[in-house]
Amino acid sequence: MKHTYKVSKMTCDGCKASVEKNLSALEKVTSAVVNLEKGEVDVSMSSHIALDELQKALPSKYAISMKADKKTLVSSQPSSFTTEGEKTKLQQLKPLLLILFYITVASVLLHYKNWSWSEFMLDFMGLFYIVFSFFKMLDLKGFPESFKMYDPLAKRIPIYGWIYPFIETALGLMLLMRFEVNIALIITLVVLGITTIGVTKTLLDKKSIQCACLGTALKLPMTEATFIENTIMIVMTLLMLLNIF
């Protein structure tokens, strides 16, 4: 018999290998195949295995539950395992929204006595890059695997995913130090433009994957907020390049 289960918090190929290895080690399991993009695992077994037994076989960071089909919404998984999926989009995006709020407030406070839109935007973009690259640096191994799931260039050139956090750090420093600002803005337009194309495609395809904007330290879903976040940065970049302010 074969059953499909949902597994939360799988973010990279390492997670995929870990889930497949641990489930396959169970005596009654003949095979376990993970679909990372869907967050699912197909388990073939010689006889029925209780869900709690499958859960015990996995590392504690993963939560496994039955995939509901069109005929049934019944799941034998304890309620504590389903909490993640029951969160609203706003609850899931709370860390991202808080970070953007603090970056905005910090940028305003830096210039409230002598207000300048251009200076505000440069500091906002610089702080944005520094903070977001910090979270990516926390898991340099896992970030590229999550990033290439939706970034077109990272899919084609894997090393781009590895150096992307350092690109963000460099851009942040250039903007905050006002060093070669036009070059930093052009690079911003290119890298965020590429990522936004991937984000847009993911949203249109209605895929449920993890957003890597804050690395893998914070588990954020890919939503419209990710698209809006990138769009704000791109619009600011275009305004600065066109010397609107």
115 phi-psi bin (left φ>0, alpha ψ -120 to 50, beta other) = beta
Domain boundary assignment for the chain: 2-86, 89-241
pLDDT the model gives residue 218? 66
Per-residue confidence in pLDDT tens, the chain, 245 aa: 888 999 988 877 778 888 988 999 998 898 899 988 888 999 988 888 888 889 999 988 889 988 765 444 444 444 444 444 445 667 777 888 899 999 999 999 999 999 999 999 999 999 999 999 998 998 888 888 888 888 999 999 999 999 999 999 999 999 999 999 999 999 999 999 999 998 888 888 777 666 777 766 666 666 677 788 889 899 999 999 988 55
Q: What is the DSSP string of 145-177?
A: HHHTTT-HHHHH-HHHHHHHHHHHHHHHHHHHT
| CA atoms of 170 and 234, how far apart (whole Å) | 17
Residue 147 and residue 219 in contact, taking contact as beta carbons nearer than 8 Å: no
The reported pLDDT for the residue numbered 77 is: 43
Cβ atoms of 44 and 30 within 8 Å: the answer is: yes
Torsion sign (Cα): 102, 106, 194, 137: negative
Fold of 2-86: Alpha-Beta Plaits (3.30.70)
Q: What is the largest CA-CA distance in the chain?
A: 72
